[in-house]
Amino acid sequence: MKHKAGFVNIIGNPNVGKSTLMNAFVGERLSIITSKAQTTRHRILGIVNGDDFQILFSDTPGIIKPAYELQASMMDFVKSAFEDADVLIYMVEIGEKELKDEQFFNKIQHAKIPVLLLINKIDTSSQEEVEEKLLYWKEKVPNAEVMLISALENFNVEGVFNRILEILPESPAFYPKDQLTDKPERFFVNEAIREKILLHYKKEIPYAVEIETEEFFESEKIIKIRSVIMVERETQKGIVIGHKGAALKRVGVEARKDLQKFFDKKIHLELYVKVNKNWRNDKRQLRRFGYNE
């Protein structure tokens, strides 16, 4: 039996459903999902294995025009997704008409590899609009195979998966067959905490925050974790902690519940808040947090 394997990289504007699709493919919640733009900051690999295939899905940050070093690093992850893709998924939602970066859009239109253009969130639209968008994108990106999906409702996700299997190149596996991702445990701890901050804080706070897990001790029955929430200013520190620590406690309780499901083990989570001035524009700090690699 011939074995297939390859990188299937998902790109598109912010909030089009890339992370929802990735999690649907993998069957695990690897990418955090919120309604806020720039939820995904890293390129996250999710590995799906079968007897005769291995698909390496990559979720990437939504394409934006960078305003500071952190966002420039995020766009570097998108660039790398073009470089090693065997199949490119360009994801759009029903109402949009263009990618927010002409250079990236030009790369998609002239890609030498198979491109699947997925029109997502079709469950929120009329049949007439869906047909109109189908024609629009076929004309706009003639090198792409256009497919309709609803990642949230799991509509046609299996159809896209089967099409990927058909066009995947023959290759041995890139990773051990029991591996789910290329990210370490601490990465998912950081992301679980950051997701709760995205959900519960407004304005600048979610974008000024980075998480660093300083301790991760796993025993047979429990995982003991100590994580630091980095903010850029003293005023932000006060907001994150909240009155008598209530806001920080809520983040800790909710993150701990999600981590217990993810690791299938009891979790003891300690959270602290520190000021790390201007970390979003500090290349040395960004490298430490896994950007600019």
- DSSP per-residue codes, the chain: ---EEEEEEEEESTTSSHHHHHHHHHTS--S---SSTT---S-EEEEEEETTEEEEEEE-PPP----SHHHHHHHHHHHHHHHH-SEEEEEEETT--S-S-HHHHHHHHT-SS-EEEEEE-GGGS-HHHHHHHHHHHHHH-TTEEEEE-BTTTTBSHHHHHHHHHHHPPB---SS-TT--BSS-HHHHHHHHHHHHHHHH--TTGGGG-EEEEEEEEE-SSEEEEEEEEEESSHHHHHHHH-GGGHHHHHHHHHHHHHHHHHHTSEEEEEEEEEE-TTGGG-HHHHHHTT---
Q: What CA–CA distance (Å, rounded) separates 207 from 117?
A: 29
Instruction: Identify the pLDDT of residue 119.
Output: 94
Nearest to 239 by CA among 281, 276, 270, 197: 197
Instruction: Identify the pLDDT of residue 38.
Output: 66
Instruction: Identify the pLDDT of residue 89.
Output: 95
The series of mean pLDDT values per 10 residues for the chain, 293 residues long, is 91 88 83 68 85 91 81 82 90 82 84 94 89 91 94 92 95 91 88 91 87 93 95 93 94 95 93 93 87 67
Instruction: Identify the pLDDT of residue 203.
Output: 80
